[in-house]
Structure 1
Amino acid sequence: MNKSFYQFALAYRGGSKRDPYARFAEAMFNDHGFPKTSREFDGLSRYLEEKADADMPAAVFDELWRAYEER
């Protein structure tokens, strides 16, 4: 079974508060509207652009997305 991006990124929760991936994962987890089942870049990117949360910046999303695709 392929994991959704949300399931993939949750692996970064619990890290250092200085780790941008850990901050992203924690903010994503606490965002009850986050598209948890999505596996599509465009929809997730659009959601994050509209949300504009400082703890879920587009640059960090892009890096996590690359890691998600490579897994």
Structure 2
Amino acid sequence: MIRPFYHYLMTERDPRKKDAVTLFANHAENDGSFPKQSEDYDEISAYLELNGHYLPSMDVFDEAWGSYIDKNSN
């Protein structure tokens, strides 16, 4: 069973790093409405389109999603 995207994203948090995916993870941690149990790209993408004001671009989500898929394909 694949773990939810949010669980993967939380592994990318770091208070010292300032790259886009890390900043996304740090902000998502504080987003109480984030779909924490979802494994669905479309569901998370739609949520972020409407509520992801902390994302400078959806490209950041796409980059994080690609890493999520890569790490869960083993």
User: Which bracket does the TM-score occupy, shorter chain normalised?
Assistant: 0.7 to 0.9
1:63 — aligned with what?
Answer: 63
1:45 — aligned with what?
Answer: 45
- TM-score by length of structure 1 reads 0.87
**Residues 9, 46 of structure 1: CA spacing in aligned structure 2 closer, same or farther, 3 A cutoff?**
same
Q: CA RMSD in A?
A: 1.6
2:16 — aligned with what?
Answer: 16
Q: Distance in 1 between matches of 2:23 and 2:44?
A: 17
- For the Cα contact (< 8 Å) 2:27–2:54, is it kept in 1? no
- For the Cα contact (< 8 Å) 1:12–1:21, is it kept in 2? yes
Q: Which runs of 4+ in 1 moved over 4 A?
A: none
Aligned residues: 71
Q: Quick one: which amino acid aligns to residue 13 of structure 1?
A: R
Q: Distance in 2 between matches of 1:42 and 1:55?
A: 16
TM-aligned CA deviation for residue 54 of structure 1: 3.1
Gaps of 5+ in 2: none
TM-aligned CA deviation for residue 36 of structure 1: 0.1
- For the Cα contact (< 8 Å) 2:13–2:23, is it kept in 1? yes
Quote the sequence identity (%): 35
Q: Quick one: which amino acid aligns to residue 8 of structure 2?
A: F
